[in-house]
Amino acid sequence: MKRLVLASLLGAPLALSTYTAHAAVVADKVGDKVNVSVQHDLAIARPSETIAIAWKDVNAALPGAMIQKIAVKDASGRVLPHQVTNIAPQAKDPNNEGIAYGELLFQHSFAAGEKSASFTIERIDGVAPPFPVKAFARHIPERLDDFAWENDKVAHRTYGPALAAPAPAGVVKEVLVTSGLDLWFKRVDYPIVDRWYNKGHDHYHKDQGEGMDMYNVGKSRGAGGAGIWDGKTLHTGVNWASYKILANGPIRAVFELHYAPWDAGGRQVSEVKRFTVDAGHWLDRIDSTFTTTAGDTTPLTVAIGLNKTPGDKGQDPKIQVGRDGKVLLQWVEQKSNDAFGTAVVLPTAEGFAQDPLNELIFAKATPGQPLRYYAGGAWSRAGEITSRAKWQQVTQDQAARDASPVRVNLAKQR
């Protein structure tokens, strides 16, 4: 038996892996089938764990396997939704060998105490059907350059250059200059971004059965925006300047937002935020990479924020704030719109702070190297996260999952 370690999972060209950054998969080739085993060390449940296997290793185990001609099955034989990312859109496959791809993704929900699970990857004669889209992102040019994304739990948006531009003379236009992140709270598991933009601003601010936009961003960081903290002042950029979509469902969406340089207390700083949005999670992974003046590698103190006043208008919100190690969270009780939670999980957190607009959690970041954190929210009316205690458990579990990824190895027969 020859054993190969999937080192590519630790440094994929576009780093598309997230919760599986150091995952370990053991696979044995049996004809047109690869047997896969996944392990981890935590006692907690790990719902919607994303398993990532480098496609080149799948292709090596099943030579010539094509992405529309495979099935992923669990131990009971149930076909699981899967996704294959394309890490090099310009790459070609002239010999039709299935080589121009990045990762094979699928998910498994580990129950509490379940520390291993088995799967198969199999060739099929027919064509794999499309799977329901549970992670999605797109630019919204029809709404002043919003960029919106969602999974089956929660949706988000942030703001682009058209919204920041001044209104032309004689034109009535909304203007908002901010790099804060917005939340749209869902009550359904199907995609709503396109549906809500289609029905319009005055409608998606009311719950018409699918959820609503009731989160307040304004000039704040919203739910997870970043800035440079000098101990007294948070220096922030403005609306995103450009974007790039790298993967777009059905299981995972990956995209980048690029922010133009701004003055961070005497240092010019720019930022690229890479979002990894996985089905089944209330918190998205965000990797923020800051760039400073050429050659300047002095560490930056980066603060991630939650708006101090996130409640909807007229809702008389009662806001509880939690600060615990790697987690900053809010639980917001409202008069008639029920309760919601927001959170930031920062694995390298060094402390907490405040400015006039935001609750903050901060850590050091080296220019040119990504700072990883998680941000998102949940609404009690959706029926799953109905108390502060449940929301706090979600955030603490995310911190634990980040610190203890699932393990992946590949073994194939000679």
pLDDT > 60? residue 221 = yes
Pure H helices in 142-284:
161-164, 193-199, 201-204
What's residue 60's pLDDT? 86
How far is it, in rounded angstroms, from Cα 58 to Cα 53? 7
How far is it, in rounded angstroms, from Cα 346 to Cα 328? 8
What's residue 151's pLDDT? 98
Same topology for domains 33-125 and 135-403, yes or no?
Answer: no
pLDDT > 80? residue 15 = no
What's residue 22's pLDDT? 37
Which candidate, 386, 284, 397, places its Cα nearest to that of 331?
386
**Any idea which fold 135-403 has?**
Beta-galactosidase; Chain A, domain 5 (2.70.98)
DSSP string for 37-88: EEE---SS-EEEEEEEEEHHHHHHHSTT--TTSEEEEETT-PEEPEEE--S-
pLDDT > 70? residue 371 = yes
| Choice among 17-21, 107-111, 120-124, 293-297 with the minimum mean pLDDT | 17-21
The domain limits of the chain are 33-125, 135-403
Greater model confidence, 331 or 61: 331
What's residue 3's pLDDT? 35
Tell me the average pLDDT of the chain: 90
Q: Counting every residue, how long is the chain?
A: 414
pLDDT > 90? residue 138 = yes
Domain spanning 33-125: CATH 2.60.40: yes
Confidence at 275, pLDDT banded by 50, 70, 90: very high
Question: What pairing do the DSSP bridges indicate for beta strands 300-307 and 223-229?
Answer: antiparallel
Residues 6 or more apart whose Cβ sits within 8 Å of residue 365: 288, 290, 299, 300, 301, 302, 371
| Inter-CA distances, 105 with 71, 191, 204, 212, Å | 12, 20, 32, 30
Confidence at 412, pLDDT banded by 50, 70, 90: low
